[in-house]
Structure 1
Amino acid sequence: MPGLLSYGAPPPSPPAALEVVKEGVLTADGTEQELVAVAGLAEYYGLISLDRMTVGDKVAVSLYVKMTAEGEWKRYRRMEYAGPQEDPVLHLLVKVARHGFRVTLHQFEGVPKTFEYCFYKKL
């Protein structure tokens, strides 16, 4: 019996090799806090868990890049989340960053929470 590949389906792609850049747990303190800051040409991925957020909590996650090696951090995206999240794991993808990639978290309302996170780069 012929398999799916014989019907023109592309062969399955192997999973990309990933390397952990940084992982941990951040306890919010009311300021903008850095989760990760890295340099080097790569494709970066990140996961942040917002599962401990409750009614009254507000969080901002900001993404930054450096355009040149000596450059300043430039924010290119800020996302706000309020209260409990239906899908509490935030998946971040930076297509490519060469001179620097940075992610911050700022809990600006509510009782301070802890946030688990993990960042990877594609090899």
Structure 2
Amino acid sequence: MAWGQRLSQSINTLPLRLLPLEFGLCFVGIQILLLVRFVCKAWNLAPDGGWVGTIYQISDMALLPLQMLLPPLHQVFFTRIEPYTLLAIVLYGFCSRILVHILKMIIYAHIGIDRANSQGSNVRKTVDRAN
């Protein structure tokens, strides 16, 4: 395979190869958002408009699956510290690792199949030219 053809093929697969990175960065963004929420709640910052209220509103969407699955905690200790937030940070990190690895396996299998098909067609063209 010629150098130019390899370069063209790697440029064509670049967006596909960047997909796991982008997917992982989305999960890191969610984790950072939840960490900021945890710190704001621990410092007992009021959600009076501004950026703290926005952080609370956006992070509520990320916490919704855990709040629906687990029972509510009504204890005095949990008024400032939210265990759901810490659990969500860990679970989002765990799910991110698993899903990114699965996505990488699928993409690299797809790229490998495409390369094998293109190399097979190049071999057939070479054999046809030789005959």
Task: Give the TM interval when normalised to the shorter protein.
Answer: under 0.3
Higher helix proportion (structure 1 or 2): 2
Higher strand proportion (structure 1 or 2): 1
TM-score (norm 1): 0.21
TM-score (norm 2): 0.20
